[in-house]
Amino acid sequence: MLRRLIKFIAWLVAAAVFFSAAAVVLLRFGPPPASAFMAARYIEGLLDEKKRKEIEYRWVDMADISPHMALAAVAAEDQRFPRHWGFDLREIREALDDMDRGRPRGASTISQQTVKNLFLWNGRSYFRKGMEACLTVLVEACWPKRRILEVYLNVAEFGDGVYGVDAAARKFFRKPPSRLTKEESALLAAVLPNPKRYRAAAPSAYVRGRAARVAKQMRNLGDAYLRPLTK
């Protein structure tokens, strides 16, 4: 019985690895029809009518996204994105130091957030983090940085039920994402940590302050910082 159980688990792990690898390879070339977070939100609405929310999601290619938006996301979430291989070890060390001081914070890169949003679920278990790490390595090996950033900007949640920069730009600013200004891009990036609480269309004083800090980091990085990924 134990031998059968071990064999079953081994086959289950092998199947999960195979299908995950296949999904990563396929999504290297085509837009995802949805993400795991979108699916979870849809199912949540089916189970609880009070939480039902229309999901707004429209894919848009990187060429049709304002370079300001790409720079704002990197400035806000992962400033060493072009140089790391999926994990920012310096940021992880600093996060561990902050945890020791009683100030816990995240250290996930854009690559990790893309994997989580696209394939996984929200949570803090070691099992989920382990899957996230494995898939991040796989994505970094199979996708160029431009593709990772393109998918991230398309599946990130910018508002309650609003997924992707195209849906966000049209809903909050009544324009396509190619026409987003630096200020609008900074506002969208400012809500990424908690899009259900923070609002880009009617920003609070906190969100405006965070957007100002994002804009400052954008200036520090410079408009040419992501040009190889966005041109």
Over residues 59-75, the pLDDT tens digits come to 999 999 999 999 999 99
Rounded (10°) CA dihedral 207, 153, 165, 75: 30
| C-alpha torsion 71→76→80→84, nearest 10 | -100
Q: How far apart are CA 187 and CA 204, in angstroms?
A: 11
**What pLDDT score does 137 carry?**
93
- Sheet with 157-159, side-by-side order of all strands: 56-57, 162-163, 157-159
Mean pLDDT of 39-48: 85
Taking the chain, what is the end-to-end CA distance rounded to the nearest angstrom?
Answer: 58
The whole-number average pLDDT for the span 189-209 is 91
pLDDT tens, residue by residue, 90-100: 887 877 766 65
User: φ and ψ at 9, to 5 degrees?
Assistant: -65, -40
Q: What's the topology of domain 10-230? A: Penicillin binding protein transpeptidase fold (1.10.3810)
Which tens digit of pLDDT belongs to each residue from 119-155?
A: 988 877 788 888 889 899 999 999 999 999 999 999 9
Sequence spans of domains, the chain: 10-230
Q: Does 103 score more than 70 pLDDT? A: no
Q: How much is the pLDDT for 8?
A: 74
